[in-house]
Structures are given as structure tokens and as C-alpha cells.
Structure 1
Amino acid sequence: MRAVAVIVGGLLLIGGAALVVSADQQRVHAIEQAHAAVDEAQRMLDAKKAANLELAETLTTLRSQIAAQDAQLSDTTGLLK
């Protein structure tokens, strides 16, 4: 009877160790996926920042053109020509 208990205990110990190893591998895989998602989000953010900078430059140019046109339109005496 002791032999059966020792065998069952050994099997339970081996099974538990296998579960711990499997859970650790899953945790490592999940961490790697999280890092990859963060890297992808960072690349997307950098691309959006670059696009936003280009749009800001265009907007600044357009605002200065609008200001110049507005000044011309508001000059009713013709002195700014």
C-alpha cells in the first residue's frame, strides 16, 4: 500500500511540476505578446506624431494666408495694396 502511495505521490509531484512549467511558459508568452503590442502602439504613435507635425505646418501656412487675405478684405481705403 505504501508503494502505491509513493507512486501516486510521485505522479502528483511530476504533474504539478509540469503544470507549473506550462503556466510559466504561458506567462512568458503573454508578456512577449504584451511587449509586441506596446512596440506596435509606439510605432503607430510615432507615425501619428509625424503626420500631426506635417499637418500643423500646413495649418500654420494656411492661417498666415488667411490672415493676409483678411487684412486685404478689411482694408476699405486701399492703403495696404
Structure 2
Amino acid sequence: MDSKEEIKRKFGEHLLKLLKEYGEQDGASASLRKFATRSELEYSNVQRISKGQVDLALTTIVALAKGLGLKPKDLLDFF
């Protein structure tokens, strides 16, 4: 099993990958700030999540998925 730090880092990388894919799908550049607004989360929190600095709560995962238009399980498919 990976360490907590490694899991958070991998999740952050996966989130940025999904954000890039989402931005390409809707024809716009999906900035982290716009994504935070869509997710109804603070920009600074989303920024720290994307850098692997936050141990996420389930409600945050649901909010991030909502901002991407995905199901929460899609965010957890990063191993």
C-alpha cells in the first residue's frame, strides 16, 4: 500500500488530468479557479488538493466530481 503522501500526490495528479480532459471536451481552457467555482469549493483548497497537500473528505470528492460533471468513482480511479 502506498503511503498517505503518495496517495494524495497521485490523486492530485489524477485530478489535474481529469480537469485537462474536461476542459478539452467543452472547448474551453478549464482553469483551476473556474473549476473551484463549479465545484463550489474555495480556490485555495482546490489548489492544495491538486498539489497533493490535502487528505480529502468524502463530501469534497463529491463536490469535485460535480465540478467535473463526473461520478465520484471516476475521481477514485487513479491507481
Normalising by structure 1, report the TM-score.
Answer: 0.31
Instruction: Name which one, 1 or 2, has greater alpha-carbon Rg.
Output: 1
Normalising by structure 2, report the TM-score.
Answer: 0.32
Higher relative CO (Cα under 8 Å, sequence separation at least 6) belongs to 2
